[in-house]
Structure formats: structure tokens, C-alpha cells
A and B are shown apart, each in its own frame.
Chain A
Amino acid sequence: MEIIINPAGEHAAVVQLRGRLDLLVASEVKQRLAKAVQEGFRLLVIDMSDVSFVDSSGLGALIGGLKAARMAGGDLRLASVGAQAMAMLELTTLNRVLRPYPNVAEALQAG
């Protein structure tokens, strides 16, 4: 898994994930997201377009990032979610908490 964090404004960052978001990388992803929030990026937009597979531990890492962002008064948003990831979101009903946005630009602008 590759994790690339690009600033998108003073308090926002786009997090690009590439590869499998599963239990082997969940801890690392969670830590990187928390670190980004610590560095001042309260709004994290996760670009999921290059994520090939997500399992529940991977979703758990995103919840960890959401928690960190919300505690800092910000938010974590998903963008460009693929079919498999979308199915996982629906299966766990997590889409009620993490509403997926069609693309990064809309996720950055929303709310």
C-alpha cells in the first residue's frame, strides 16, 4: 500500500491510497491519518480510486482517521469509492457514517 498525502489548502489534505487496504496495512494507515491530523490537516479526503480491495480492518483504519479528524473539529471524507469498497461500506452500514463523494473536488467543497 502506498500512502501519499497532498495538502489541499491550509487545513485540508488529500490522502491517496494505492493497493489493498486490508489488515496488513490497517495500523499504518491509521497512524498516518492521525499524524496528518496532528500536523494540522483537519479535513482529510481519502482518494479511493486506486484501492483494489478493502476489508473490515481497512475500514476500521478509516474510522480511526475519522475519529482523529472529528476530535480536531474536522472531518474525514471518502472520494471515488470503487465497487468492492462500496459493497463493504454497505455491508457494514458504514456508509451511513462515511458518505462517499463522487470525486475529490466535491469532497473538498462539501459542507
Chain B
Amino acid sequence: MRVVSTAPTRQRLIDWGQEEWAAFRRGLIKILVVTNLVLGAYYLLWRGTASLNWDAWLFALALFAAELYSYTSSFLFGVTVFRLRERGEPPPAPAGLRVDVYITCYNEPVELVRKTVRAAVAIRYPHQTYLLDDGDNPAMRAMACEEGCGYITRSAVWKGFDRHAKAGNLMNALEQTTGDFILILDADQVPLPQILDRTLGYFNDPRVAFVQTPQYFINVPPGDPFGSQAPLFYGPIQQGKDGWNAAFFCGSNAVLRREALARTGIHFFVRDVERRIRRALREADTVIRRAQRKLMRTERQQIAPALRALCRAVSDARRELDRGDTFQEVTERFQRRVEEAARMVVAADLQQIMADLAEIQAAEAAEIMRSLHDEAVLAELARRDRSPLAAIETVRQLVPLLVNEAMDYLPISTISVTEDMSTSMRLHATGWRSVYHDEILAHGLAPEDLRSALQQRLRWAQGTIQVFLRENPLLLPGLSIGQRIAYLDTMWSYFSGVPTVIYLIAPVLFLMFGLLPVNALSAEFFWRLTPYLLVNQLLFAVISWGRPTWRGQQYSLALFPLWIKAVVTAAANVWFGKKLGFIVTPKTRQAGRYLGLVRWQLLMMVLLTVAIGVGLAQLALGWRSDGLPVLVNVFWAVYDLVMLSVVIDAALYQPPEEQ
């Protein structure tokens, strides 16, 4: 059922086997990546220094910025695929491993999940199968029982706490089963019987944390109207990341080592405790400095030395944290020094203290405690007006809260709705290895209508941006440079919305208003740009190597409104605590036509069509004489229309009636 093999044999031309062709392809990719970057630099240096049309400076700079974005994309993509790793046959699975198979479900139809459960129970390698039902559905429980499959729902400890969606569902099950290795399957990913035999062998290397296999969908109609298949991602991109030991865990069709999850979870638990202490210290610092500024002359003599002592205590505590002292030592020492400072003031004016203490209610302590999770609230608290004495008391109350961090460790990351990507990045940051095994070992179901498909795409994009903002791969300690680039490559691609709008608007602005972002479409422009574009396409073709990628290219351009929405909502979520509006992807087809979902694309297509008409008409009527630029822009606009047209097909798509 594989659409393409990784390396077609072409023995008619040269007597090379698969191995030789694969090696040839990998070498060719390296050469093309470098050539592409050199040609791109050659073009963009000239674009930036000699070609910008300053009469239309805003437009010119915007387009140039979009081109820089694209160049950065091809740099990141080029580095990612530079060390493409094709693993071939996996090592044989050792006997006797303790393996759990988890099937996660929420609200899917019972009969759909039954297929997955039945296939999971039938997996050849000895294992325990569990259905993780976050919907707590009695019918689902009955079905699991009929199929001889374990059934797990949330335990009582989750009551009243954040459920963390799928991440929470998995962690709840990890507490209740005892397998050393966990195969995770979405409810609609039907595994093949050999899935464990083909993946467990990689764990012979004790540093390997997980093995990811492709997600492949069998219900995709001809032409893949919704762009569900991801042959480029589950192929060259993952293989490229694998070459940097940065393959992504994608939430399903992957086997994980429990010890790796637990160890990394603890590691990040410790980091989180430290981060909270540092945050509290920072706010203490703010409180003290505000108090220092507010000191009245009469108070200066008594209170200023105490505030100075507090300042020193904060900076010493920071230094001790840097040094790697235990948190208890740091906080105890800090507490002692705060008490000393408080005593200095007590000696100065007992009565004033009593008055000020009344100002601070126990409620504030609780507020500070809560605010340790919430950046905005904490900052507000620190800015609140207080007398200098009250400030000292506030800092004093902070300390016991630092020590009383009541948290649990989380084997699955919860910083993002794409817990899978975040978890794999954390595993990589703590030194674990990963494997991408490019063999279809499960048959999945993709969304069958545009709304569901778009929701799924939006969720991935939002989750990725959340990780980018919360745990940026460029800053996360422990990652290698290649891993940083491999993660950034995927994240960067989700910022394409605004650059795409600029590319789409550019021909419209020229054809309708004569605005040209470059000072002339000279010969130099073409011989600098054309080789860059050609090599770019050639590189893409060699990387794809016969896999169908056209649909994916169309969607990455055509979904520009979705990408913009994802960035805006994820940023609002991370910075201002706004809700993402997260929805579980429906597994049943939603009825209806969806032109309303693609209104921005339709608007853009109307603009482009009008612009083409205007440009050509003016040329035909002899109102303008710039024939070459018009033709170039018409060509550009037609290309945009072809790319955008994919969403119209998808919106109007009517699935064949089922029996």
C-alpha cells in the first residue's frame, strides 16, 4: 500500500542497486542544499543593496522581508535534510520485553475504535492492550471488555484539576500500567500485527527513548482533496531530522521507553521548581526597589539599611542557584536574611510595623501562591502600592511559599496542545536518542470534511507556536545545534501566513496601481533570481523523490489565514492566558459545504483575477507600455490562483455516498 518506495531502481541506465541510488541521492541533496543557499544569498544581497524601489518603500521593504523569511525557511529546511538518514531494516526485537499498547480515545464512535482495539489485541509481540477512554463512555467500556482489552479512565485524583487533554490521559494510564515500553495509537490508527516486531529492536540501544513510524491514511479519496497525507513529513523531513537525532514524536504510531519519559519528567520538574524560585526572587526585587524609591526622608535612616540588606539577599540567592546549591539551602538562607532585615526595622519602629502588618491580609499570601503560576498576576502584585514596611513583610511572606512548591512531576509535557512535539524536544534536551522508522505499520483515518481537516491543522499550528514561545528550541539547554535547527525548521514554517499575504498582494498592487517593489525588472534581476528558483525547485524534487508533494505545497500557501490565526491565538494564549478554543478533531464526517471557511482565500482570488484583467486590458488598450513586468506579474498571479484553488475544490468536495 506504500505510495512510493524510498529509492526506485533504474538499472537500465546505470548498473546501480538501491543502495547506490540512495547514496547518490543523499550526495545530490547536499550539493543542491549548498548551491541553493549560495544562489539565494547572491540574489538577496543584490535585492537588498541595489534593487529596492524607495518610491514604494513600504511595499519594497515588506516584499524584501518576505523574501528573507523564505530564504531562512530554505536554510532551515536545507540543514534539516542535509543528513537524511534512511535506516532500512530494523534490528530484530528482543524477546521478553514488557510492552503496553495504549489506544487513546475521547468521543469517537465505538465501532470505529473497536477496529483499532481488535487489531491492537492481535499485535504479534506479547503485550497488554489498554483503551484510554477520556470520554468515560459505558459503551466503550463494554466494547473493551468484549474485545479482551484493558480499559482505563481518569482516576479520582484528577477531579478538580486541569485534565491536560491527551497528555493527561496518557499520564493517568502511565500511573496504572507497568510496561517498560508503550506503543501509543490514536483511536483511528489501526496497527499491523508486526508493528512491535519492527520497532522494539531499536531499544537495544539503551539511549533510545522512542521510535516513531509514519501516519498513513487509507480513507483518503483520489487526489487527496484535504491534503491529509504528509508524504514529505513522514519521509524526507523526519529522516532528515533523524540524521540530527531530532526525529519528532507525533502522538501516535510510536513506541516510547517509560524510563525516558519518567527521567525527563523529573528533570523538567526540577527545572520548573527552580524557575518558580527565580521568578519569586525577581518579584521580591521589584517590590524592594519600589519601596526604596518611595522612602520618605524621615524613614530613610531606619529602613534604608534593611532594604539594602534585602537587595543583597536576593542577589546572593540568585548566585547560589547558579552555583547549583539545593533549593532548600538557598531558600533557608534567604529566609534567615529576610528575618534579619525585618528585625532591623522592628528595632526602629515597632508601632509603625503593627499598623502596616494590618495592611497585609492572609489573603495576599494565597494570592502570591496562585500568582507563581501566572506571570501577569505576579507582576501586578509586585507593582501594587505599599509602604516600605509592608514591602518587607511581603518579601518575608514570599519565602515560605518558595519552599512549599506543591507540584508533581509530569512524564508528558503539558506546555502545549501538541504535547508530543514538546515531549520529544524535552527528551532530546536531556540527552535521549530517537528513531524514525520509515515503514507504514498502521492504517489511519483522516478527517473527511474541510472543517475537521482545518481544525486539525489549526491545532497542530497552535501547539507548535506554543512550544516555540514557551520553550524555544534556540534557548532550551541541552539540545545540539542540529536539533535546534530541526525543531526551529518546523516551527518557522508556521509563521508563513504574513509573508504569504505579501506575496499574494504584490502582483495585485502592481497590476492595479502600478506599484513595483523593485526599481526595474532588469536582466540582472532575472539572471540572479532564476537560478535560485530553479535550484530551489530541483532540490525540492530530489528530496521528494517521487513522493506526491504538490497538494502539500498548495495547502502550505493556501492556508495562510489559518496560519495567521494560529500564531495570533497561540501568542494570546501564552502571553495573556487567553483560551485557544481547542476542539478535539471530529472523527465522523460533518455535513455541508464550506465556502464560508475559505472566504479570505476567495477574496484573494477575486482580487488576483481582477488584477490580471486590469493589467492585461490596460496593456491591450495601449494605456501602459511596461509589457514585460505586466506579463511577469500576470504569470505570478496565475500561479497564486492555481495554488489557492485547492481550497475551493476542498470546500465543494462531496464524498461519495456510503452504503
The residues of A with any CB-CB pair to B shorter than 8 Å are 23-24, 26-27, 55-57, 59-60, 63-64, 67, 70-71, 73, 91-97, 99, 111
Question: Is A67's CB under 8 angstroms from B407's CB?
Answer: yes
Report the minimum CB–CB distance from B479 to chain A (whole Å): 17
Q: Does B21 contact A (CB under 8 A)?
A: no
Contact of B408 among A59, A63, A95 (CB under 8 A): A63
A sample of 24 inter-chain contacts (CB < 8 A) reads A23-B258, A23-B259, A56-B262, A56-B265, A59-B262, A63-B408, A67-B406, A67-B408, A70-B404, A70-B405, A93-B267, A93-B271, A94-B269, A94-B270, A96-B273, A96-B274, A96-B324, A96-B325, A96-B327, A97-B270, A97-B326, A99-B326, A99-B329, A111-B332
Residues from chain A with Cβ under 8 Å of B263 in the complex: 56, 91-92
Q: Does B61 contact A (CB under 8 A)?
A: no
Residues from chain A with Cβ under 8 Å of B406 in the complex: 67, 70-71
Q: A24-B178, A94-B266 are in contact. Are A64 and B408 (CB under 8 A)?
A: yes
Q: A63-B266, A67-B407, A91-B263 are in contact. Are A97 and B273 (CB under 8 A)?
A: yes
Question: Is A27's CB under 8 angstroms from B175's CB?
Answer: yes
Q: Does B553 contact A (CB under 8 A)?
A: no
Report the minimum CB–CB distance from B281 to chain A (whole Å): 16
Q: Does B594 contact A (CB under 8 A)?
A: no
Task: For the complex of A and B, list the 9 residue pairs with the smallest distance between their C-beta atoms, beginning with the closest.
Answer: A56-B262, A56-B263, A92-B266, A99-B326, A71-B406, A93-B270, A70-B406, A57-B262, A63-B409
Report the minimum CB–CB distance from A2 to chain B (whole Å): 18
Residues from chain A with Cβ under 8 Å of B267 in the complex: 92-93
Q: A23-B180, A23-B258, A63-B408 are in contact. Are A95 and B266 (CB under 8 A)?
A: no
Closest to A89 in B: B266
Contact of B259 among A56, A63, A94 (CB under 8 A): A56
Q: Does B361 contact A (CB under 8 A)?
A: no
Q: Does B49 contact A (CB under 8 A)?
A: no
Beyond A27-B176, A56-B259, A67-B407, 18 additional contacts (C-beta under 8 Å) are: A23-B259, A26-B175, A55-B259, A57-B259, A57-B262, A60-B411, A63-B409, A64-B408, A70-B403, A70-B404, A73-B404, A92-B266, A93-B266, A96-B273, A96-B324, A96-B325, A96-B326, A96-B327
Report the minimum CB–CB distance from A74 to chain B (whole Å): 10
A64 CA to B329 CA in the complex, in Å?
Answer: 21
User: What does the 1/0 interface line of B403-426 toward A look like (CB < 8 Å)?
Assistant: 111111101000000000000000
Closest to A111 in B: B332
Q: In the complex, which of the residues A24, A70, A96 has the most CB atoms of chain B within 10 Å of its own CB atom?
A: A96
Question: Is B327's CB under 8 angstroms from A97's CB?
Answer: yes
Q: In the complex, which of the residues A56, A63, A64, A91 has the most CB atoms of chain B within 10 Å of its own CB atom?
A: A56
Report the minimum CB–CB distance from A100 to chain B (whole Å): 10
Question: Is A60's CB under 8 angstroms from B409's CB?
Answer: yes
A55 CA to B257 CA in the complex, in Å?
Answer: 13
- Report B348-406 residues with CB < 8 Å from chain A CB: 403-406
Q: Does B328 contact A (CB under 8 A)?
A: yes
Report the minimum CB–CB distance from B433 to chain A (whole Å): 16
Residues from chain A with Cβ under 8 Å of B326 in the complex: 95-97, 99
A26 CA to B406 CA in the complex, in Å?
Answer: 19
Interface of B is mostly: helix
Report the minimum CB–CB distance from B414 to chain A (whole Å): 15
Report the minimum CB–CB distance from A55 to chain B (whole Å): 6
User: What does the 1/0 interface line of B23-47 toward A look like (CB < 8 Å)?
Assistant: 0000000000000000000000000
- Report B168-193 residues with CB < 8 Å from chain A CB: 175-176, 178, 180
Residues from chain A with Cβ under 8 Å of B324 in the complex: 96
- Report B246-277 residues with CB < 8 Å from chain A CB: 258-259, 262-263, 265-267, 269-271, 273-274
Residues from chain B with Cβ under 8 Å of A97 in the complex: 269-270, 273, 326-328
The residues of B with any CB-CB pair to A shorter than 8 Å are 175-176, 178, 180, 258-259, 262-263, 265-267, 269-271, 273-274, 324-329, 332, 403-409, 411
Report the minimum CB–CB distance from A21 to chain B (whole Å): 12
Question: Is A60's CB under 8 angstroms from B327's CB?
Answer: no
A111 CA to B333 CA in the complex, in Å?
Answer: 11
Report the minimum CB–CB distance from A93 to chain B (whole Å): 5
A56 CA to B267 CA in the complex, in Å?
Answer: 10
Q: A70-B406, A92-B267 are in contact. Are A57 and B258 (CB under 8 A)?
A: yes
Residues from chain B with Cβ under 8 Å of A96 in the complex: 270, 273-274, 324-327
A87 CA to B234 CA in the complex, in Å?
Answer: 38
Closest to A72 in B: B406
Report the minimum CB–CB distance from A84 to chain B (whole Å): 14
Closest to B411 in A: A60
Question: Is A63's CB under 8 angstroms from B269's CB?
Answer: yes
A26 CA to B135 CA in the complex, in Å?
Answer: 26
Question: Is A99's CB under 8 angstroms from B270's CB?
Answer: no
A59 CA to B273 CA in the complex, in Å?
Answer: 16
A70 CA to B401 CA in the complex, in Å?
Answer: 10
Residues from chain B with Cβ under 8 Å of A23 in the complex: 178, 180, 258-259, 262
A56 CA to B405 CA in the complex, in Å?
Answer: 20
A97 CA to B273 CA in the complex, in Å?
Answer: 8
Residues from chain A with Cβ under 8 Å of B175 in the complex: 26-27
Report the minimum CB–CB distance from A59 to chain B (whole Å): 6
A73 CA to B270 CA in the complex, in Å?
Answer: 20
A92 CA to B269 CA in the complex, in Å?
Answer: 10
A92 CA to B226 CA in the complex, in Å?
Answer: 44
Report the minimum CB–CB distance from A106 to chain B (whole Å): 14
Report the minimum CB–CB distance from B179 to chain A (whole Å): 9
Residues from chain A with Cβ under 8 Å of B180 in the complex: 23
Report the minimum CB–CB distance from B372 to chain A (whole Å): 13
Residues from chain B with Cβ under 8 Å of A95 in the complex: 326
Question: Is B262's CB under 8 angstroms from A55's CB?
Answer: yes
Residues from chain A with Cβ under 8 Å of B332 in the complex: 111
A73 CA to B46 CA in the complex, in Å?
Answer: 66
Q: In the complex, which of the residues A60, A71, A73 has the most CB atoms of chain B within 10 Å of its own CB atom?
A: A60
Question: Is A92's CB under 8 angstroms from B270's CB?
Answer: yes
A27 CA to B262 CA in the complex, in Å?
Answer: 13
A111 CA to B329 CA in the complex, in Å?
Answer: 10
Residues from chain A with Cβ under 8 Å of B265 in the complex: 56, 60
Contact of A56 among B266, B271, B325 (CB under 8 A): B266
A80 CA to B437 CA in the complex, in Å?
Answer: 44
A59 CA to B259 CA in the complex, in Å?
Answer: 11
Report the minimum CB–CB distance from B211 to chain A (whole Å): 19
Question: Is A60's CB under 8 angstroms from B329's CB?
Answer: no
Residues from chain A with Cβ under 8 Å of B411 in the complex: 60
Closest to B273 in A: A97
Report the minimum CB–CB distance from B192 to chain A (whole Å): 28
A82 CA to B109 CA in the complex, in Å?
Answer: 51
Residues from chain B with Cβ under 8 Å of A71 in the complex: 404, 406
Question: Is B329's CB under 8 angstroms from A59's CB?
Answer: no
